[in-house]
Amino acid sequence: MSYLVDFVIAVHDARRPIARAVASVLAAGLDDGRLRVTVVCHNIDREQIAAALGPELAGRVRLLELKDGIYSPAGPFTHGIEAADARFVSIMGSDDYLEPGALGAWAELAAQRGLDVVIPVQRHPSRAVIRNPVVRFRRVSPLDPLKDRLVYRTSPIGLISTALVRRAGLRLTAGVPTGEDQEFSIRLALSGAAIGYAWGRPAYVLGDDAADRTTHARRSVRAEFDALLRMLDEPWFTRLPIAALRAIAVKYVRIHVIAFVRRRLDADDWAEADRKDMAALVERLDDIAPGFRGHLSIADVRALRALADGAPVAQLRAQVVARGRFGTPSTVLPTRPGAVFAADAPLRFMVASALMSR
């Protein structure tokens, strides 16, 4: 049988709400003839997951086992993707779920627009929109990787052409404690594929049931940014145009670097070794993407300068806090005045982000 969508759900614990996840996919607007749901039982016997699903749901899914002894979703998602042969592949964590009709709506959009990739609206259970990627207001397709800031969405959810995955050699990064989806998604965004955003259509919901999501764990600088550091050494990355390299560097500083520093400062868990490692990482980005700081806010660059100069902790904290006071001149204006209207400079980024929930 030839399916339209192979939907892969990874689960490592029978206590997860896997039945909710599977039921939501089966009710998402595609009949059994077009949809195959694969549950990858990661380091757990399939019988335990079948019992958690119950006989009705278990009878409608394909249960695969992967026992690699590694606590990372990269393995089970890759296992499921490799077992896919439908037109599209889609992945989801066992804590998440789809709104009714989501898959049908995404598939309809892909057919109407000739898309290789459909990025869905993502919501919290409260229905608040997760404003990522910050696409242009009501822009459905074709999306531009830089103008629509696609490198900001690193969770490869939605519909992705299985042929594109094979052709581009897209794989989740094995052996990293976090960020296993970053290279996959950035390469996908910059692949030249026809990508659309499912404005106004049923959403992917990020569940809040899990108390041990790996993104919340305490890690060293090296571990936290291992996926990025590996990516920086990849031949495909070094061949990217300078505009793409700068956009990626801006994203990592804005979303990851400064947030990491603030988390550590807020927890009074900051050491000179951390400062040196973080400063070295930013310096590496400067070498790879010279000029990227021009698109950062004045406040962002002040925080980076305090980091590099080894400023006292109180001063560094003040600069990091200041860059979060959105709307002040130093957070709105970019370091390079000529970049004020650039897609990823503060002004347009903030406006587009505010429009995401409308």
Using CB atoms within 10 Å of the CB of residue 153, give its burial: 0 to 12 exposed, 13 to 18 middle, 19+ buried: buried
- The pTM of the full predicted model, rounded to 2 decimals, is 0.95
Tokens of 215: 């993104």
Specify the DSSP class assigned to residue 88: E
Provide the residue type at 78 as one letter: T
Let me know: does 38 contact 85? Beta carbons within 8 Å: no
Query: Which sequence spans correspond to the domains of the chain?
Result: 5-211, 218-355
pLDDT at 195: 98
**Is residue 276 within 8 Å of residue 317, measured between CB atoms?**
no
pLDDT score recorded for residue 66: 98
pLDDT at 209: 64
pLDDT digits (tens, 9 = 90+) for 292-351: 999 999 999 999 999 999 999 999 999 999 999 998 999 999 999 999 999 999 999 999
Domain 5-211 is found in CATH 3.90.1150.10: no
pLDDT band of 214, cuts 50, 70, 90? very low
Instruction: In whole angstroms, give the CA distance from residue 86 to residue 127.
Output: 30
Residue 161's alpha-carbon distances to 81, 118, 345, in angstroms, are 11, 9, 31
Of 125, 106, 95, 93, the closest CA to residue 8 belongs to: 93
Q: How far is CA 293 from CA 144, 231, 252, in A?
A: 22, 20, 12
φ, ψ at 110 (rounded to 5°): -60, -40
